[in-house]
Amino acid sequence: LLQRPGAALSAAPAGGVQAQATALLQQRLPTATVDRDPVLGTPRMVRASRGFLTGPAGRGGAISDQTLASFPRDDRHRVLKAFVSEHAGLFGFGAEALESAALQRDYVDQHNGLRTVQYHQSLGDIPVFEGVLQAHISAREELVRVSSRFLANPSGSAARGAWNWTDLMARPPVSAADA
């Protein structure tokens, strides 16, 4: 990961916000654990040490009924979106980040019905390096675990990494075809 001297890398919310969000998650689900990426500070793995993050159909556990109800029942990723919205403080973004990301995988294992969902983040048409949010959801729509390397503010991170980011996007020195 390239980091320019004097440029702060900010992929996730500040420590106090993260600590409060982790405490809220653990208040709702005492067996929940959050492992953070040592560089980005993003929740590398959110899981329950016993059971799942939610009950069947996403009800209970770490998601409130009100948040779950705010997503359409026919949305295949309803449980994941509700979790990310409910715990936006952990991630630095809510479900809107998934709407602007590319769905790269939505695979159901035939053996046990476990679904793997993987979103990839981009800025404009440029993929964010390792900008992946992945979740595992059981056949009963229980959220098993979530991991994220999404940046909370990709455009802000790009601007801190290249002082003339806006100009580079408007007039790239190399065309996409030549790249």
Q: Which residue has the higher pLDDT, 104 or 162?
A: 104
For tokens 């939610």, the residue is 54
Beta bridge partners of 146: 46, 135
Tell me the pLDDT band of 167, cut-offs 50, 70 and 90: confident
Q: Which residue has the higher pLDDT, 16 or 97?
A: 97
23 vs 32: CA distance, rounded Å: 10
3-class DSSP state for residue 119? strand
Could you read off the pLDDT of 47-75 as tens digits, one per residue?
A: 999 999 999 999 999 999 999 999 999 99
CA 69, chain centre distance (Å): 20
Could you read off the pLDDT of 114-136 as tens digits, one per residue?
A: 999 999 998 878 888 889 999 99
pTM of the shown model: 0.83
3-class DSSP state for residue 151? coil
* CA angle at 20 for the pair 32 and 33, rounded to the nearest 5°: 15
Q: Which residue has the higher pLDDT, 97 or 160?
A: 97
Contact 89, 34 (CB under 8 A): no
Residue 38 has pLDDT above 90, yes or no: no
Contact 66, 60 (CB under 8 A): no
